[in-house]
Amino acid sequence: MKNRFFKFIISLCLTAAVADFLPAMAEAQTSISRRQSFQEQIQFNSELENGKDVSFAQVLADPDNLQLNMAYAKTQIRHGDIKGASGTLERMLRVNPRLHELRLFYAAVLYRLDNIAEAKMELQKLEGIKLPEKAVKEKKELTRLIAIREKTYTLNAQISAGIVQDSNRNSFPEDETIVYPNGATLTFEGEEKKDKSTIGIAAVNFERKTGMYGQNSFFLGGSYYMSKQDKLTDLDMGIMTLNGGFRMTGRTSMLTPQIVYSTLKLDGDSYLDSYGGSLKLDKLLNKKNIAYAEARYLKQDYLNSASHQDNKSRSGGTYGGSIGLKHIINAGMTFELEGSALVKDADMDSYDTNTYGLAARHFWLLGKNTYLLSSLSASQEAYSKAPETLYEILVSQGKKRKDTVIRGSLTFGMPVYKSLSLSLAYEYYSNDSNIQIYKYTNNKMTGMLNWKFSM
């Protein structure tokens, strides 16, 4: 009975972990690219955060004052009106074409507007002109970014390795004794087991631009995750994920259909194969807010093994979606709120579930490529029917299971040397269930070194 209990608990935990982890792996390189793009924006705006706002009325009162015009252009950028700032800078250069540092600034603004051809023209006008040392470095960096933007393809790769420490890796319940209405008890011997594991991640993503102006693209990606436990070796995992799709970009929206396949091995045995797809729409509402909606479907095929002989009964399809809003607080900070719903239709009806969740995320770029990412989520998973097997009826007393999961995490990242970075993370996980043997908490600490490169 005890062995069956722990195998059952472990398999349920893995199911939940895989459901969370596989989509994250499929999105790994997309997140890297978005972070890089965001950091480019921060680099561009980092010197514009200070200073007082200047109104258009002040410019009209003294239109030939170049310093005032420059301050007004920076005001426009601070308020998200980059196109308006380009007009202000262009007007200033017509008045005085010898404002070389201002021309460099104008080229950067054109780059942010995706007007690559004109940005290159402005940089060419600076060839042979002596600039201050700081401006020379900025010109070199802008030239590099333009060269990357002009490429018809990009290839990003990342290799990570680290150590994870769990306070309750075996998901042992807070109360190990079941008390039945007639006074009888059932006690599971054991205790929470701390364990550490070494983990490794390798990921690669290829993207090819299409169309006359490269506004659309198709992408292919793959990743592999492995973990080796120090003590609980039967929880060693290996996960391979492959994904591909297409991004169709309009003036204020982006539509992304993609397909994904993944396979998981547990302690060397095939445990789960998943395949499906998603369709996501991102919509720019205004200068500060981006809304998105995503629909997903995933077919899960659980596989029997020597240690999981009744695993296939949990197979089935999962479908659902999410809607969210990302708010740009300032040039170095974003806040995101997301709601989700997921339905699982399993081969055995007692594994059918309905899950609803709410998540909040905050990203803060601290400067010098350091960042702080925090998240808090809550979800409720309700099983549609009471358990059917004798063992599950025994531990649940015939009740329909309902779990409430609270998860909070904090991740700090910082550069180490060139393309090498360090990330430190803490996660609190609490599973509150109406069936006491599924009620447990876990604290996780992670330290990772990450190396990435682009071609």
d(Cα 125, Cα 168) in Å, to the nearest integer? 63
* Residue pLDDT, tens place only, 409-442: 999 999 999 899 999 999 999 999 888 788 899 9
Question: Which residues neighbour 372 within 8 Å (Cβ) at sequence distance 6 or greater?
Answer: 363, 364, 366, 410, 411, 412, 413
For range 365-381, the mean pLDDT: 93
Residue 111 lies in a domain: yes
Residue 27 lies in a domain: no
* Residue pLDDT, tens place only, 13-64: 444 444 444 434 434 434 534 444 444 443 444 444 445 778 778 877 777 7
Structural domain ending residue among the three candidates 99, 115, 150? 150
Residue 31 lies in a domain: no
79-83, 289-293, 432-436: range with lowest mean pLDDT: 79-83
Same domain, 313 and 418: yes
* Secondary element (H or E) of residue 178: strand 177-179
Same domain, 199 and 120: no
Q: Which of 128-137, 142-151, 427-436 has the highest mean pLDDT?
A: 427-436
State the alpha helices, DSSP H only, in 51-132: 56-61, 66-78, 82-95, 100-112, 116-124
Same domain, 139 and 257: no
CATH number (domain holding residue 324): 2.40.160.40
pTM of the predicted model as reported, rounded to 2 decimal places: 0.75
CATH number (domain holding residue 100): 1.25.40.10
Q: Are 418 and 403 in contact (CB under 8 A)?
A: no
Based on the structure, what is the number of domains in the chain?
Answer: 2
Structural domain ending residue among the three candidates 94, 116, 150? 150
Residue 114 lies in a domain: yes
Same domain, 106 and 168: no
pLDDT of residue 388: 64
* Residue pLDDT, tens place only, 296-332: 999 999 998 877 777 888 899 999 999 999 999 887 8
Same domain, 223 and 278: yes
285-289, 321-325, 336-340: range with lowest mean pLDDT: 285-289
pLDDT of residue 391: 62
Same domain, 101 and 157: no
Q: 111, 139, 119, 138: which is closest to 127 by C-alpha?
A: 139
pLDDT of residue 251: 80
Structural domain ending residue among the three candidates 133, 150, 167? 150
Q: What are phi and psi of 170, to 5 degrees?
A: -90, 5
Same domain, 219 and 320: yes
The DSSP letter of residue 184 is -
Residue 389 lies in a domain: yes
Same domain, 134 and 211: no
Residue 45 lies in a domain: no
Residue 35 lies in a domain: no
Same domain, 257 and 388: yes
Same domain, 299 and 443: yes
Same domain, 142 and 173: no
Q: Establish how many alpha carbons lie within 13 A of residue 408's alpha carbon, considering only the half-sphere containing its beta carbon.
A: 3
Residue 13 lies in a domain: no
For range 265-275, the mean pLDDT: 92
Same domain, 266 and 309: yes
The residue range of the domain holding 429 is 153-454
Q: 90, 140, 138, 131: which is closest to 110 by C-alpha?
A: 90
Question: Which residues neighbour 448 within 8 Å (Cβ) at sequence distance 6 or greater?
Answer: 160, 161, 162, 199, 422, 423, 424, 425
